[in-house]
Structure 1
Amino acid sequence: MTRASAKAATIHEIAKRAGVSIASVSRALNGKPGISEGLREHILAISREIDYRPSAAARQLISGKAAVVGISLGRKDIELRPYYILLYQHLTLALHRQGMVPVFFAHDQTARLPDSAGAAILLGEFPGDAREAWLGERQVPCVRVGESPSGFSVGLDERHGLYLATRHLVERGRRHIVFVGGELASPHKHLRLMGYRDALHEAGLEERLLSLPHEVVDASLTSYRYLNRWLVSLGKASTEPGHDLAFDNLPFDALACATDELALGCLAALEDHGIGVPQQVAVTGFDDLPTLADQLTTVRQDIEAVAERAVVLLGEALAGKPAQHVTLPVELMVRQTS
């Protein structure tokens, strides 16, 4: 028996046990409308009972592109970022549990997506992002990880998260807090920057910004380079070989970073200049990336929960249900850097 026929036989087994047609099994496995929710759950329960795990090839043969989900990254985001690696892994697992096949699409490949996939999950947000509207015009259901003006989306309470981190720094006695983030002058809605500003306004403090370009290569390297240049430009460093750089009266006493990756680059720059953390400068991040943020005070988001909720919303989009946005909570994790 060939691999394909073995999979087909399994589909027949699900249909036989459920007492339904092959078409109904396909609708249940693909999250398509046309059957009741009770029947869908019954069919999915049987598929789990017999441990049905369709291959990508078998899924294409059974239902074509309807079971394929295109995962589309933003304009300058690439899979090398630790955050996106984790999110992509969790999305892949969540989709496979629903019998669906994830396929990666770079931002400039969006036009190819409708030819290969029946739905999409959009990652990354940037000014002028037309992917959601473009897919909507072609009737391709999609879910955005972030905020959508009118469609399905799942995001974090980012504004509150940075508010918590900045308020924590204020409560620790910091009065010259710099927000470190990417492309802060762009018209994009910077929710984390807004949370930082909320806390500063509440405390009656002035904002200080370190805006970084959105580099494709490495976010940590970018923050390291820019903070290092700033520190050198202060003109308070010792130039004697073999001596640590010494700084007095720094113009900041804390760095509230938009991501853990940016925070790690800043920590490296501070360490290279002999600046004590948190004695002289406290540092916070956002994301709570496993291993990378073990000692970092940061805002924790549940990346697995984001992925699972995105897939649930995708099923609702495929079923033609009304669009909705879901906001997931975040939590401040206080560690050694503050």
Structure 2
Amino acid sequence: MTRDSRKSSTIHEIARRAGVSIASVSRALNGKPGIGEALRERILKISRELEYRPSAAARALISGKAAVVGISLGRQEIELRPYYILLYQHLTLALHQHGRVPMFFAHDQFETLSEQAGSAILLGESPDDTRARILTEKSIPWVRVGSAGEGFSLAPDDRYGIELATRYLIDKGRRRLVFLGSELELPYCRHRLAGYQQVMQDAGLAERSISLPFTIESALDAYRELARHLKRYGLDFDGLVCETDELALGAVAALEDHGIVVPDQVAVTGFDDLPALAGSLTTVRQDIALLAREAVALLVEALAGEPPRHMMIPVELVPRETG
């Protein structure tokens, strides 16, 4: 028996036990009008007893775009970055568990989102980001994965995570720490940098940073920039606090290619603890699966008309070989 035939059999069994038509079962399961609340509750109770779970695809066919959640990227160049790939996978899983249908929208596809989706999760903010405003004007509920602001939002505790990493290296005796990040000259890119700056100020140590372009080849960018720095200035630091695991990997490779021993001469920390990348990195772990589940939970609140709020996802330091 195929999966579809099993589902069909279960629906027929629900209808038989409730003494109603298949149409009434469909109305109850999908929140449609046309039946009384007592009957709806009885049908839902029977469906739970039979462990019936309608597929997300089926919900999309029944409910149209109301069941579709648009996952929207704000910048084209981040689509292939490992962090966003992993986050998208976890969002897809969490949405399916809520009976929702995820649909991916690249940066240049956002204008079509309102035509195909009933709600949205926004990734990759920028200063001139107009997506939230557009969705609000069109009365489409949304959640932003990013800094606190208007509407529903959530983010890992970025600043605290970098504070943990910076303080950890100082406690290990490092005094010449450099922060390595992307587009640090832009205000909205400085939330992790701020954590490094605060700890360095508290410790009475000089702050230094290296800013890189924001591209999908961040590890290679870090390698090249650090190689240029070493050639020009020599080894003038004993620790690197990196904004992401990708930057940390590029930095470690550049140091090793210049004969610099990690962590004996230079300690390196990352951020994210991405399974495919972190390996031996001392890094700050954020629970991406939890972030995805909470993003979907906030979206449910947004759909229900609850007051907007911001949620901070906790992080933790994971000491490994590079620190």
**Do Structure 1 and Structure 2 share a fold, with TM-score over 0.5?**
yes
> Match of 2:187, SS?
coil
Change over 3 Å in CA distance of 1:43–1:166 after alignment to 2? farther
- Asked if 2 retains the 8 angstrom alpha-carbon contact of 1:159 and 1:193, the reply is yes
Structure 2 CA distance for aligned equivalents of residues 100 and 285 of structure 1: 34
Equivalent position to 1:333, from 310, 313, 318? 318
Structure 2 CA distance for aligned equivalents of residues 251 and 128 of structure 1: 37
Structure 1 CA distance for aligned equivalents of residues 294 and 29 of structure 2: 23
Structure 2 CA distance for aligned equivalents of residues 140 and 266 of structure 1: 42
- Asked if 2 retains the 8 angstrom alpha-carbon contact of 1:283 and 1:297, the reply is yes
Backbone CA RMSD of aligned residues: 2.8
> What is the match of residue 61 of structure 1?
61
Equivalent position to 2:240, from 251, 255, 258? 255
- Asked if 1 retains the 8 angstrom alpha-carbon contact of 2:268 and 2:282, the reply is yes
Q: TM-score, normalised by structure 1?
A: 0.84
Equivalent position to 1:316, from 297, 301, 307? 301
> What is the match of residue 52 of structure 1?
53
Deviations along 1:145-174, one digit per CA (max 9) or x if unpaired, are 122412111211111100010011111111
Deviations along 1:153-210, one digit per CA (max 9) or x if unpaired, are 1211111100010011111111111101110001215211110011101101111110
Change over 3 Å in CA distance of 1:265–1:189 after alignment to 2? closer
- Asked if 2 retains the 8 angstrom alpha-carbon contact of 1:76 and 1:214, the reply is no
Structure 2: unaligned runs, 5 residues or longer: none
Amino acid at match of 1:50: E
The number of aligned residues is 313
Q: Does 1:275 align with 2:274?
A: no
Aligned positions of 1:1-338 closer than 5 A: 22-27=26-31, 43=44, 46=47, 49-54=50-55, 56=57, 58-188=58-188, 190-216=190-216, 218-234=217-233, 250-338=235-323
Q: CA deviation at 1:329?
A: 0.9
Q: CA deviation at 1:49?
A: 4.4
Q: CA deviation at 1:230?
A: 1.4
Change over 3 Å in CA distance of 1:82–1:189 after alignment to 2? closer
Q: CA deviation at 1:55?
A: 5.1
Amino acid at match of 2:260: I
Structure 1 CA distance for aligned equivalents of residues 26 and 125 of structure 2: 39
Deviations along 1:43-100, one digit per CA (max 9) or x if unpaired, are 49936943424252x3332000000010011214433211111111111111111111
Structure 2 CA distance for aligned equivalents of residues 77 and 13 of structure 1: 50
Structure 2 CA distance for aligned equivalents of residues 229 and 17 of structure 1: 73
Structure 2 CA distance for aligned equivalents of residues 252 and 54 of structure 1: 55
Structure 2 CA distance for aligned equivalents of residues 204 and 83 of structure 1: 33
> What is the match of residue 243 of structure 1?
none
Change over 3 Å in CA distance of 1:131–1:268 after alignment to 2? same
Change over 3 Å in CA distance of 1:17–1:105 after alignment to 2? farther
Amino acid at match of 1:108: D
> Match of 1:27, SS?
coil
Structure 1: unaligned runs, 5 residues or longer: 29-34, 237-249
Structure 2 CA distance for aligned equivalents of residues 83 and 230 of structure 1: 27
Q: TM-score, normalised by structure 2?
A: 0.88
**Structure 1, 186-195 or 46-55: larger mean CA deviation:** 46-55
Structure 2 CA distance for aligned equivalents of residues 44 and 265 of structure 1: 55
Q: CA deviation at 1:226?
A: 1.1
